[in-house]
A and B are shown apart, each in its own frame.
Chain A
Amino acid sequence: MNANKLLETLDKEISHSSLSRRDALTKGLNFGIKSALTAIPFALLFKPNKALAGTGDATLVLQVLNFALTLEYLESSFYTMGLSSNGLVPSSDTTVISQISKHETAHVTLLKTTITSLMGTPVAEPTFDFTAGGMFPDVFTNYQTFLTLANAFEDTGVRAYKGQAGNLQSNPMVLTAALDIHSVEARHASEIRRIRGNKGWITGASTPGVPNAVYGPGNPVASFPAEDNTMQGGVDVTTLVSFPSSASTEAFDEPLDMNTVLSIAGPFIKM
Chain B
Amino acid sequence: MVIGLDSCSKSNNNGGSNTGTPIDVGSGDTGILNFAYALEQLEAAFYTQVATSFYSGISSAEQAILTDIMYHEVIHRNFFKAALGSNAIAALEVDFSAVDFTSRTSVLNTAKALEDTGVSAYNGAGAYIMNADYLTLAGKIVSVEARHASAIRDLLNPKSADFAGDDVVNPTSGLDFSRTPNSTTGGPSIVATANMFLKTKISATKLP
- Chain B's interface size range is 35 or more
Q: How many A-B residue pairs have CB under 8 A?
A: 189
Alpha-carbon distance A106/B166, docked complex (angstroms): 13
Q: Which residue on B lies nearest to A180, using beta carbons?
A: B175
The answer, among B133, B140, B149, for a CB contact under 8 Å with A187, is B149
Any A CB within 8 A of the CB of B174? yes
Q: Which residue on B lies nearest to A96, using beta carbons?
A: B159
B2 contacts A241, C-beta separation under 8 Å:
no
The tally of residues in A whose CB lies under 8 Å from a CB in B reads 59
Any A CB within 8 A of the CB of B173? yes
**Looking at B2, B140, B174, which has the most chain A CB atoms within 10 Å of its CB?**
B174
Which residues of B pack against A, CB within 8 Å? 2-3, 65, 68, 71-72, 74-76, 78-79, 82-83, 119, 122-124, 126-128, 132-133, 135-137, 139-151, 154, 159-161, 163-165, 169-178
Contacts of A112 in B (CB 8 A): none
A189 contacts B127, C-beta separation under 8 Å:
no
The answer, among A98, A105, A233, A250, for a CB contact under 8 Å with B83, is A233
Contacts of A189 in B (CB 8 A): 147
A187 contacts B164, C-beta separation under 8 Å:
yes
Which residues of A pack against B, CB within 8 Å? 92-93, 95-96, 98-100, 102-107, 110, 158, 162, 165-166, 169, 172-173, 175-177, 179-191, 194-195, 199-201, 232-235, 237, 240-241, 243-244, 247-248, 250-255
A184 contacts B144, C-beta separation under 8 Å:
no
9 A-B pairs with C-beta separation under 8 A: A96-B161, A165-B126, A179-B122, A180-B176, A186-B143, A191-B154, A201-B68, A235-B83, A251-B72
